[in-house]
Structure 1
Amino acid sequence: MKHIKTWVKAGALGAAIVAGMAVQAGAETRITYKSAKAGTSYYQMGVQLAEAMKAGTDGNVIVTLEEGQGSVQNVMEVRARGGDYVFTTPPALVGLAQGGKAMFKDKGDPAFDEIRALFPIPSLTMHFVMSDASGVTDFAGMEGKTILLGKGSFGAREGEKYLGLFGLEGKVKIADAELSNAVNALKNGQIDGFVTAGSYPAPNVIEAAASTGVTVLSLSPEQVAETKRTELVIPAGTYAGQETDITTTSLPVVAYTTTKMDDDTAYALTKTFWEEKAKMGESAPWWNGVSPAMLDNINGKIHPGALRYYEEAGIALSDAQK
C-alpha cells in the first residue's frame, strides 16, 4: 500500500507539473510596441504587426501599440521600461546611445547596453520623384526645376543634403508647400518633382506614378557612397511604368527590445514575424521588401531568443551580433 500511495502521489505531482506547463505554454503574453506617430506608415506597420502576432500565436501574444514621438525618444524610454517593451529605431541610434554620443551625450545609461535586436522592418527609403512632363531622368537634369522637399522630416533633411552633395544647391527652386500636397502639385504642374522618404512602395509615389507618370531617379555607386547611407534597390515593376531597378539609399529600421525580455518571448516574436511576413505582404506590399539580408544592417547584438530562431532557420549572423 505504501508503494501504491507513493506512486499515486508521484503521479499526481507529475500531472500537476504537466498541467502547470500547459497553462504556462498557453498563457497570454502582453507586449507594448512603440513605433511612430499615429497616421504615419510606421504606425500602420505597428497595427499590422499586432494583428500578425495575434493571428500567428493563436492569441497567445497580444501586442498593444503605443504612439511614438520619434526614434530617439523610443530609445530613451528603455531606461524606464520592462521586459515587455519593443520599439523601433535605426541601428545607428542604438550605437550612439550605447556610446553616449550626439543626441545621447551626457544622457548615457547602463540600460542602453542591454538593447538587443529582434528583426528588421521596412527601411526609410529615399525617392526622388520627377514627373514625366519635366523630362528629368537624372540628378543633373534637376537644375532649374521646382522641387518639393517638405518640411522637418527625415526625407526633407536628407533631400536637402543630397542636393548639396550632388552640386545642385541653389540651382533648383524649392517649393514652399507640405509634402501632403506633392501629388496634386505634380498633377497640376506646379512642381516638377518631389522628394519623399518612406518604406517602399510608397503610397504617394504609387499615386503619382499611376496618375501622372513619373521617373524615380537612380543614384550611381559614387553618389550612394557620398551619402554615407545604406544602398537599397527598388525592383523593376514596383511602380507603374518602372521598367528597371532603381538604386537609392535607405535608413534601416529595426524592432528592438532589451535583455529584460525572456528568451522564449523574444523567440516567439521573431519566429512569428518571419512566418507571418508573407501574409502581411499580401495586403501591405512594403513587407515584401524585408528579407533576412537586412539583418546585416544590425551593428549591435541580437537577443538570444531571436538568435535561437535564426540558428534554427539556418540564417547566418556575424560573431558581433551573437
Structure 2
Amino acid sequence: MHFLKPLAAVASVAALLATPVLAETRVTYKSAKTGSSYYQMGVQIAEAMKAGTGGDIIVTVEESQGSVQNVMEVKARGGDYVFTTPPALVGLAQGGKAMFEGKGDPAFDEIRALFPIPSLTMHFVMSKASGVTDFAGMEGKTILLGKGSFGATEGEKYLGLFGLEGKVNIADVELSGAVAALKNGQIDGFVTAGSYPAPNVIEAAASADVTVLSLTDEQIEASKRARLVIPAGTYAGQDADIVTTSLPVAAFTTTKMDDDTAYELTRTFWEGKAGLGQDAAWWNGVDPALLATVPVRFHPGAQRYYEEAGIALTDDQK
C-alpha cells in the first residue's frame, strides 16, 4: 500500500507543472494594416498584456484591411477574438444599415466593448509658405487627400461642408508621399486622419514649416464628429492648441469570450496605460472620459473591472 504515496506525490508535481500551461489564454487582436499606427498600437497592447498578466494572456496581432472587415469577421470567430472599430460601425452592423445592409447577422448583436483606444483625429496640414491659416484660405490651393482612407473620405466631406467643393485642386498623389510633396512645393497641404501625434504630421512639422488648421465650433457642429483638442507643443512650431474633430475607436469582443478573460484584458489595459503612454504619446489622449464615446454594451467581464475601479458606465452600456 505504501507505493501509493510516491505515486500521489508524482501526480501532484505533474499537476503543478501543468498549471501555467492550462492558465495561458491566447487572444487574437485584429486592428489595421501592417505599418499603420493602429497596427503599432496592437503590438504595444500585446506586449502590455503579456507583461501585465505574467504571460497568462498571449495576444497575437493580426493584420486587417479595415474596420468593416473586423466587424464582419465576428460571424466566424470564437471567444478569443478582439478587434478594433469605431463604435458607430457596431451600431450600423447591429441595425443592418449602410455598408452592412443585407449583410445582417445575429452575431453582431453579441458584440461587446472592452476599452477605448486613441481616436482617429483629423489633421489639415498646410505649408507656412501657402499662407493658409483657416479653411477659407484653402481656396485655389493644391491639397492631397489620399485615396480610400477615412481621412480622405472625411476630408472630402469637409471641403463640401465648408464651401470649398470644386474650389480646391486635389493632388493625385498617395498619402505616403505627402511630406515629400509638401517639402518640394508640389502641394500646399494634405489631410490625414490618425491618432495624435500622427507620425506623418510629426515628420512634416519637423522638416518643413507647417500650420495645422483649427476648426471653429460651427464647423465642428456641422461635421457631426466629436470635438478634440491637440495640446500646444504636440508638433514642432505649434504654439497653440489645435481644435479639430475625431472619430472614437474602441476594442471589442463578443459574448463568446469568458468573463474572466474580458476582465483581465480590461484591467491590464488600464493598469498598463501609463506605461503605454511613455512608449508612445498617442496613448496619453485616452482616459475614462472616452468611455462616453462608446454607446455600445460592455462585456460583463469589462463591467466588473469598471465597477471595481469606480468608473461609471451608463445604463445603456450595461
Q: Which amino acid aligns with 2:228?
A: L
Cα distance in structure 2, aligned partners of 1:162 and 1:180:
21
Q: Which amino acid aligns with 1:190?
A: Q
The Cα offsets for residues 256-304 of structure 1, whole Å up to 9 and x where unpaired, read as 0011111110010001111111111112111111111111111110111
Cα distance in structure 2, aligned partners of 1:167 and 1:118:
39
Question: Contact 1:26 / 1:60 at 8 angstroms: preserved in 2?
Answer: no
Output the aligned Cα RMSD.
1.8
Q: Which amino acid aligns with 2:272?
A: E
Alignment of 1:55-204 (within 5 A): 55-204=51-200
The Cα offsets for residues 54-97 of structure 1, whole Å up to 9 and x where unpaired, read as 01111110001111121111111111111111011110110011
Displacement of 1:24 in angstroms is 7.4
Q: TM-score if structure 1 supplies the norm length?
A: 0.91
Displacement of 1:173 in angstroms is 1.2
Cα distance in structure 2, aligned partners of 1:175 and 1:25:
55
Q: Secondary structure at the match of 2:201?
A: helix
Which residue is 2:280 aligned to? 284
Question: Contact 2:20 / 2:56 at 8 angstroms: preserved in 1?
Answer: no
Displacement of 1:243 in angstroms is 1.4
Q: Which amino acid aligns with 1:304?
A: P
Q: Which amino acid aligns with 1:213?
A: D
Question: Contact 2:93 / 2:100 at 8 angstroms: preserved in 1?
Answer: yes
* Structure 1 residue runs of 4 or more that deviate by more than 4 Å after TM superposition: none
Q: Secondary structure at the match of 1:231?
A: strand
The gaps in structure 2 that reach 5 residues or longer are 1-7
Q: Secondary structure at the match of 2:222?
A: helix
Cα distance in structure 1, aligned partners of 2:217 and 2:19:
55
Moved more, 22-31 or 304-313: 22-31
Q: Of the candidates 285, 306, 312, which is equivalent to residue 310 of structure 1?
A: 306
The Cα offsets for residues 205-250 of structure 1, whole Å up to 9 and x where unpaired, read as 0111111121111111110111111111111111111111111111
The gaps in structure 1 that reach 5 residues or longer are 1-11
Q: Secondary structure at the match of 1:65?
A: strand
Which residue is 2:260 aligned to? 264
Q: Which amino acid aligns with 1:138?
A: D
User: Does residue 50 of structure 2 align to residue 54 of structure 1?
Assistant: yes
State, as a whole percentage, how many aligned pairs show the same letter.
81
Cα distance in structure 2, aligned partners of 1:264 and 1:152:
38
Q: Of the candidates 194, 201, 205, which is equivalent to residue 201 of structure 2?
A: 205
Q: Which amino acid aligns with 1:42?
A: Y
Displacement of 1:175 in angstroms is 1.1
Q: Which amino acid aligns with 1:182?
A: A
Cα distance in structure 2, aligned partners of 1:69 and 1:253:
16
Cα distance in structure 2, aligned partners of 1:38 and 1:123:
18
